[in-house]
Structure 1
């Protein structure tokens, strides 16, 4: 009405109608031969209706090309999210992600109807947010020495070394990202990690470490020796003064209802030796160092709540008394500590390392960049069901959502980050949005390529690991049996046993291959007559021991 465009009975139009009976984020989409009608009760619902319309377009061409015509089927959709919290976490500490690259990921998250972007801003490897009251946090804490090689094997920094690697977001940068995300119905949640994973801030302000620490503290390029056990001194009031000053600026900058305080993997070794910590434990009648962390986290949680914010924390907060009102992210294993918090009446979010940590290998490891924690394919992510069959229904009501989390120990660029995120984030978004009873891997795959194409049109790298071949070689009497598989149900595996590169005219794999002599088995996936995966090469040989029992 305000736009001046015709409303009723107009043809060849897209019409937006307010429908206050629809819940938050829900929408309806009606497509006829004359027009498209999207109805919702709020901005998010209208946005999701538009995203669904985009996904219905013919996506083999660039959907941003206004010179082309696109066809969509006539249909009616009524849709609403399963969970209120549908998140993705970016670890921007271990690998700093420039602002413009974060925007691309926000665009992709919006396309997938995700509504939370959790930024892990603080860790041993970099402090990434400007804090005006404590400028050394970024002057010193945002920069580290240059080290090549595998993250866990990088050597510790030495005093006086140059620190050229890193970066940070000014408060103006972050305000810009917050606005950009908000326009796309995404809430940015800041994480200020404490009391561990804080070497970057201790490098800037070493007086905040326990006084028993007498070694040089530098921002870590990796895990790097003993310094990764550094934590804030829980008996030093200057620590709480500094953190409260940080929270003051974070709370003022971020409109999010949440501030994440971390709380994970805190070593207690230094606290046991520290005279300040031990004196504080005695004064507060604290018997164990685990309860000292509880004291630390409850004190900081109360301060966060005094700013009108809710507290998020990792599942280690369940190791002792959970801060009142805190929402817990269950991450270890299958995230069972989240359910534990739910039984105690706390809200919780599932981000289990086994299936929702996207640092893990996303395909057969021999084709992938080096990382750790085993395999976690797109199919594993999509098939994940957060509410387990043995859960109490009343406890399950405390589950508010799911999150895919990307730790960046093995990323050296924004492109590395994108490679690990996509297309698995598409599967995670389906888990967060769709009801469990709609799960259908084959049906998901038929929709996947169109959405993945739209992701790539944003200028984002998306891995093709889902097309690569997994294999198993096992003895079969005196021979070897080779079993091949691919998680995509819509590909054909062509193979050779003479060492030649497979072509579309070579045999299609249907049954295990029997190897009776020294052979090189090669295989690759085809789709619509084109090679889509990488060539698997298996030099195999049998000998007199093949298939025999091994004596211990």
Structure 2
């Protein structure tokens, strides 16, 4: 080989292999790296070939202009350096949300059947650009992206995240910000939990007391669930609600980002805020207040519980159904999607059992068990929704007492309810708490504020939404749920959402065959850097060890594992602070007797990376057989 040829070959190898790795979340169906890079400049043109692509093209130009300061504009045409094309003849492989992206040194062409596909294509495009693309101000960067050919389309049609705004209220601006983040991850459903015991958040004009009274509670600090009861005459000043104009604005904002909003009005239980406004709709008709986070129930560890305060609508009272007709009439007019979520979960029936009206209704219906009244209640609610042109969607408890064939089930108590519903021919959204509850602790429970369960990112990533033996046609998709009892701010909502929502986005979008945890970890860490630039909060719990104990030969034994590859765990039990020169964990350790304290620090490549975890002997003893 001549010197000039050798030089050319070395330059070619340098150009091709010096490019940064392609780190996309969720992982596309097919990614084929090519040689070269595309450079974004002030003279880059953005064109769309059909009028339906205009909104997406304009959104792209706005997204690029904030960090680059280039002032790019979108125009109709067919020769843009960034070209957005809608197919004249649909590509059956891509469906309604798929796209292809072909980037070379000369141009980037995104092609789709529908605007939704173009929208998801530009999300991938921005992830190919440097992390500074997420900056909220103009920055100096080399705006290049690697040449690549991508074909992509979703595995599931329902890719959702639920946000609970009852336990803690989030402003209109915050909700839009949260939706915007989800859309960039190719989520297409925002489940909006609008009502519960702790606040009614949606204006119902025909029932003004729902927000005049039900949207407000007495201010309380401290751990939710342990707070003091309201005092007589204490003003209720904490809370808020969305006007119907707010709702329309948020719905329109989401629609532009191809996100469908599914509202939830949680009935017949979880209705304390509604009963604070209209106590006559309960069995006892006793006055109640919007709950500020007091312990108003007793849980017995096996899924059963008792309410200390009534929070359930009376299924035997016709006024309840007149009330719900008014509520759902106004809700249905605000949300254009086919579904209204009606809750149906954790409905305590003790007050029903003691109510003469409920007993008379049971006799009239010829039912022996009070639990069956929920089936009657839900059938009445479904008739109301059907009259509004809506479909009933509820948590898996709606299966108890029977539901119509057209009802859709959201399986949260593990996967059992989803399996049962699918076998009965119901459509199902899989959202089991064991994989998808984003309010659970993400790492060691001694680090984050306490909550009753934990869920690591790796476990969320491992989830398979289609259970064995279930016909996949009944599984609409899946969803992560963020309950907000312990989440008072958007910043902390982000912390709890990410990186687990990154993991779930890949579960719901990407082909099952491309899932690879070590590969995802690399991409996740690149998205940590992107989130830092975009000022989005996230948890770094993946860098903390998993610490377990058991008893072996009468001795307390320590076992530790890393959630991600490449972690080194160093520990001490002699009341010294651990570092990389301390004992390195490699196998289970028998701990000595006595009042020891375990301290563990994680390192990678010789650098500290996780939280310091400190556990006294009593704490270690309590972990036997757990975690």
Q: Please give the TM-score of this superposition, normalised by the length of structure 2.
A: 0.79
Structure 2 counterpart of 1:486, from 562, 568, 578: 562
Q: Please give the alpha-carbon distance, in whole angstroms, between the structure 1 residues aligned to 2:531 and 2:391.
A: 32
Q: Please give the alpha-carbon distance, in whole angstroms, between the structure 2 residues aligned to 1:301 and 1:478.
A: 58
Structure 2 gaps, min length 5 = 1-48, 52-73, 298-306, 619-627
Q: What's the offset of the Cα at 1:158?
A: 4.5
Q: What's the offset of the Cα at 1:61?
A: 7.4
The reply to whether residue 232 of structure 1 matches residue 303 of structure 2 is no
Q: Please give the alpha-carbon distance, in whole angstroms, between the structure 1 residues aligned to 2:189 and 2:560.
A: 38
The answer to whether the Cα contact below 8 Å between 1:128 and 1:142 also exists between their aligned partners in 2 is yes
- 1:443 — aligned with what? 519
Counterpart secondary structure, 1:134: coil
Cα separation, partners in 2 of 1:476 and 1:312, compared to 1, 3 Å:
closer
- 1:548 — aligned with what? none
Cα separation, partners in 2 of 1:456 and 1:91, compared to 1, 3 Å:
farther
Q: Please give the alpha-carbon distance, in whole angstroms, between the structure 2 residues aligned to 1:59 and 1:509.
A: 35
Counterpart secondary structure, 1:328: strand
Q: Please give the alpha-carbon distance, in whole angstroms, between the structure 2 residues aligned to 1:291 and 1:480.
A: 48
Bigger mean CA deviation after superposition, 235-244 or 200-209: 235-244
The reply to whether residue 81 of structure 1 matches residue 154 of structure 2 is yes
- 1:321 — aligned with what? 402
Bigger mean CA deviation after superposition, 297-306 or 147-156: 147-156
- 1:550 — aligned with what? none
Counterpart secondary structure, 2:522: helix
The answer to whether the Cα contact below 8 Å between 2:410 and 2:428 also exists between their aligned partners in 1 is yes
Q: What's the offset of the Cα at 1:54?
A: 2.0
The answer to whether the Cα contact below 8 Å between 1:60 and 1:453 also exists between their aligned partners in 2 is no
Q: Please give the alpha-carbon distance, in whole angstroms, between the structure 2 residues aligned to 1:269 and 1:539.
A: 42
Counterpart secondary structure, 1:493: strand
Aligned residues: 532
Q: What's the offset of the Cα at 1:506?
A: 5.3
- 1:43 — aligned with what? 115
Q: 1:34-183, aligned counterparts within 5 Å?
A: 34-59=106-131, 62=134, 65=138, 67-183=140-256
- 2:602 — aligned with what? 525
Q: What's the offset of the Cα at 1:106?
A: 0.8
Q: Please give the alpha-carbon distance, in whole angstroms, between the structure 2 residues aligned to 1:240 and 1:516.
A: 65
Q: What's the offset of the Cα at 1:156?
A: 3.6
Bigger mean CA deviation after superposition, 356-365 or 512-521: 512-521
Structure 1 counterpart of 2:425, from 335, 345, 350: 345
The answer to whether the Cα contact below 8 Å between 1:158 and 1:218 also exists between their aligned partners in 2 is no
Q: What's the offset of the Cα at 1:474?
A: 4.9
The reply to whether residue 18 of structure 1 matches residue 86 of structure 2 is yes
The reply to whether residue 369 of structure 1 matches residue 449 of structure 2 is yes
Q: Please give the alpha-carbon distance, in whole angstroms, between the structure 1 residues aligned to 2:317 and 2:617.
A: 62
Counterpart secondary structure, 2:146: coil
Deviations 1:21-67 (A, max 9, x none): 13110111111121111111112111111111222233277556564
The answer to whether the Cα contact below 8 Å between 1:230 and 1:270 also exists between their aligned partners in 2 is no
Q: Please give the alpha-carbon distance, in whole angstroms, between the structure 1 residues aligned to 2:549 and 2:419.
A: 39
Deviations 1:200-229 (A, max 9, x none): 00010111111x344x31111234254444
Bigger mean CA deviation after superposition, 447-456 or 71-80: 447-456
Cα separation, partners in 2 of 1:491 and 1:127, compared to 1, 3 Å:
same
Bigger mean CA deviation after superposition, 175-184 or 410-419: 410-419
Bigger mean CA deviation after superposition, 476-485 or 318-327: 476-485
Task: Report the aligned-residue RMSD.
Answer: 2.6
Q: What's the offset of the Cα at 1:348?
A: 0.7
Structure 2 counterpart of 1:470, from 527, 542, 546: 546
The answer to whether the Cα contact below 8 Å between 2:392 and 2:407 also exists between their aligned partners in 1 is yes
Cα separation, partners in 2 of 1:15 and 1:161, compared to 1, 3 Å:
same
The answer to whether the Cα contact below 8 Å between 1:154 and 1:224 also exists between their aligned partners in 2 is no
Q: Please give the alpha-carbon distance, in whole angstroms, between the structure 2 residues aligned to 1:45 and 1:193.
A: 33
Deviations 1:93-124 (A, max 9, x none): 11112222212211210111000000111111
Cα separation, partners in 2 of 1:328 and 1:44, compared to 1, 3 Å:
same
Q: Please give the alpha-carbon distance, in whole angstroms, between the structure 2 residues aligned to 1:432 and 1:340.
A: 21
Q: Please give the alpha-carbon distance, in whole angstroms, between the structure 1 residues aligned to 2:423 and 2:560.
A: 43
Cα separation, partners in 2 of 1:458 and 1:173, compared to 1, 3 Å:
farther
Q: What's the offset of the Cα at 1:289?
A: 2.5
The answer to whether the Cα contact below 8 Å between 1:120 and 1:190 also exists between their aligned partners in 2 is yes
Cα separation, partners in 2 of 1:60 and 1:442, compared to 1, 3 Å:
farther
Q: What's the offset of the Cα at 1:525?
A: 2.2
Bigger mean CA deviation after superposition, 232-241 or 222-231: 222-231
Cα separation, partners in 2 of 1:252 and 1:447, compared to 1, 3 Å:
same
Cα separation, partners in 2 of 1:162 and 1:399, compared to 1, 3 Å:
same
Q: What's the offset of the Cα at 1:425?
A: 0.9
Cα separation, partners in 2 of 1:175 and 1:482, compared to 1, 3 Å:
same
Q: What's the offset of the Cα at 1:451?
A: 2.6
Q: What's the offset of the Cα at 1:441?
A: 0.6
